Amino acid sequence: MATRVLLLGGTTEASTLARALAEHGIAALFSYAGRTAQPLAQPLPTRVGGFGGVAGLQAFLAAERITHLIDATHPFAAQMSTHAVQACAALGLPLLGFERPPWQAGPGDDWRLVPDVAAAVAALPDRPARIFLAIGKQHLADFAARPQHHYLLRLVDPAAALPLPDAEAVIARGPFTHAGDLALLRRHRIGLIVAKNAGGVGARAKLDAARDLALPVILIERPAVPARPVAGSIAEVLAWLGHPADLGV
């Protein structure tokens, strides 16, 4: 059977991989979860939306005659990654995770690591603070339990209503720059950052800016996903698919 890849995307790395697959003439379908109103256009046929759990994903893989699945979703999309492992195991399909390594603290960083969103809420100070809540929009309501704080949000799409009593949103799409995030933190007089340890380059700028300003960061650690093979470079992915990378890829 000819190679046909399902690429689960939503990250900068997934978009870069999509271009490489297209350039190498590898038949592939790109899948977005559908959480962003206007996702980036891809050089591959694209679908948007969920699959309907493990059973729905299995049915889709079979109907589309997928031979290989690459999971390049966000490191915090643990449910999708778990479903991918389970569906591929049931069908005997090869699965590869394509993920960026987590961020590591360096000299001058003041990071307080917490295991999940609930622990991040609990770690907030009692005294009112100006907080850059850089976690996306899914778990904003959890922070309503600490209404004394002013929250700065950065969202890809405007929100109809914010589930926090004292919050403002900046609408922007990464990658972000060190100079830009430094200016953002200064302009909004931020005293604390809450972020997810997503890894990668495009969202790290806020952490570098926090170090420059000696700001503490509450960093939510990645959720666990079932064991699976993982690649960290496009060259590794292409080799896994039987397409050696050109020099410079």
Is 87 found in the same domain as 139?
no
State the residue range of the domain holding 38. Answer: 5-100+224-240
Residues 139 and 187 in one domain: yes
Please check whether residues 46 and 121 belong to one and the same domain: no
Domains identified in the chain, total number: 2
The pair phi, psi for residue 98, each rounded to 5°, is -120, 100
Q: Are strands 230-231 and 130-134 parallel, antiparallel or unpaired?
A: unpaired
The token duo for 117 is: 């969103």
Q: Give the separation between CA 190 and CA 178, rounded to whole angstroms.
A: 15
Q: List pLDDT tens digits, range 48-69.
A: 999 999 999 999 999 999 999 9
* 81 and 115 within one domain: no
Indicate the residue type of 181.
D
Residues 184, 154 share a domain: yes
Residue 176 lies in a domain: yes
Local confidence pLDDT in tens for the 249 residues of the chain: 689 999 999 888 899 999 999 999 999 999 998 677 677 889 999 999 999 999 999 999 999 999 999 999 989 999 999 999 999 999 999 999 998 899 999 999 999 999 999 999 999 999 999 999 999 888 999 999 999 999 999 998 888 789 999 999 999 988 899 999 999 999 999 999 999 999 988 789 999 999 999 999 999 999 999 999 999 999 999 999 998 765 444
Domain co-membership, 24 together with 47: yes
Summarize pLDDT for 96-133 with one digit per residue, the tens.
999 889 999 999 999 999 999 999 999 999 999 999 99
Rg (C-alpha) for the chain, rounded Å, is 19
Dihedral sign from CA coordinates of 249, 39, 132, 183: positive
**28 closest CA partner among 16, 13, 18, 38:** 18
pTM over 0.75: yes
* CATH number of the domain residue 182 falls in: 3.40.50.720
pLDDT at residue 249, as a whole number: 44
Prior bond to 107 cis, omega within 30?
no
Q: How far apart are the first and last CA of the chain?
A: 27
